[in-house]
């Protein structure tokens, strides 16, 4: 396993333990390398794997993805973060909230589809 993979895994584990937006923002403010669309996409991928083993951790990582995407402000990051959040909510049986988290606006949806 590469050093970066281990480092990202540790960051994801740490993000999963942070209880709220304020603590996530404080943590992220000291780690500028995490402020990237690629990292948000990686968190989306991590959530897809975590929903099979740890739903609470998947939800926390999805919340972190949303926090970063909101900070970045780009459509692609927001699409990945909303997908992560919707997947985590759906896995928790919160289907109504999951459908509301999905990027329904055409510009966000097209940004997501074009990134695939």
Residue 2 has pLDDT above 90, yes or no: no
Residue owning tokens 């996530």: 24
Q: What is the tens place of the pLDDT at every residue in 60-95?
A: 999 999 999 999 999 999 999 999 999 988 877 766
Angle 37-50/3-17 helices, nearest 10 degrees? Answer: 70
pLDDT at position 41 is: 94
Residue 1 has pLDDT above 50, yes or no: no
Token pair for residue 52?
Answer: 């099979």
Domain total in the chain:
1
Q: What is the tens place of the pLDDT at every residue in 5-57?
A: 557 889 999 999 998 888 988 998 898 888 999 999 999 999 999 999 999 99
The answer to whether 80 touches 74, Cβ cutoff 8 Å, is no
Q: Which residue range is the domain that position 26 belongs to?
A: 3-115
Residue owning tokens 């281990």: 6
CA–CA separation, 102 and 116 (whole Å): 16
pLDDT at position 104 is: 44
């Amino acid at each position: 396993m590469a050093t970066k993979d281990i480092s990202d895994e540790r960051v994801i584990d740490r993000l999963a333990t942070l209880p709220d937006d304020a603590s996530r923002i404080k943590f992220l403010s000291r780690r500028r390398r995490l402020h990237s669309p690629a990292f948000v996409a990686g968190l989306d991928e991590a959530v897809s794997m975590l929903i099979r083993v740890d739903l609470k951790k998947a939800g926390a990582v999805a919340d972190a993805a949303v926090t970063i995407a909101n900070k970045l402000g780009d459509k692609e990051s927001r699409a990945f973060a909303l997908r992560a959040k919707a997947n985590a909510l759906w896995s928790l049986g919160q289907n109504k909230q999951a459908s509301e988290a999905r990027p329904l606006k055409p510009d966000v949806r097209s940004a997501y589809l074009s990134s695939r």
